[in-house]
Structure 1
Amino acid sequence: MKRLFALALGLSPLAAQAQQVQCWLPYTGFEETVPHINLARCPGESMDPAEWVCRIVLRDDMATVYFFRHTAEAGMPCLIRVLRQDFNSFAAIHGTTYMEP
């Protein structure tokens, strides 16, 4: 039925599928495979912790923060954004201490 609807709109079935929200990296896949530190809130952002999950990976002199957002379409947190900075720049912006809220 979805294929007929896509064809009726003049779209190929692949184009119709591309318009759907896809979760390229679900949090569960990240959690199981990437060593990381859980953050109670996302750095530098006023994001609702009920809606966003952030994790940080410290490797060599780099800090990489992964931003996952809960989406109703995917039913799980999905990777939305990645922030990568050298550790000194990250610490200058966000500080060097972390306290649970």
Structure 2
Amino acid sequence: MVEKFDCLYCRDPLQRKKYVHKGDYHCCLKCFDKFCANICMECCKPIHVDSKEMHYKNFTYQDEPWHAECFVCVTCSKKLAGQRFTAVEDQ
């Protein structure tokens, strides 16, 4: 007997499709974006599974997710992903 291989959320079959494996379950990319993806602190949009995601612990030590392209200097807009930087008053 063949075990069913469906999305945890929408129950669509995942054979021959891209999917995300999280723990003991699988979900399609559409459901991942809707139910599982982190939300970027800057643009407030889901961070897609194929996007570069970075995390920054703010001054209260909460782990904040960001799109790599959204994590920029508030003064000059230079991208900070992979760069050394200093936070001043949590900016």
Q: Same fold (TM over 0.5)?
A: no
Q: Between Structure 1 and Structure 2, which shows a larger proportion of helix residues?
A: 1
Q: Between Structure 1 and Structure 2, which shows a larger proportion of strand residues?
A: 1
TM range (shorter): under 0.3
Larger Rg: 1
Greater RCO, 1 or 2 (C-alpha within 8 Å, sep 6+) = 1
Q: TM-score, normalised by structure 1?
A: 0.25
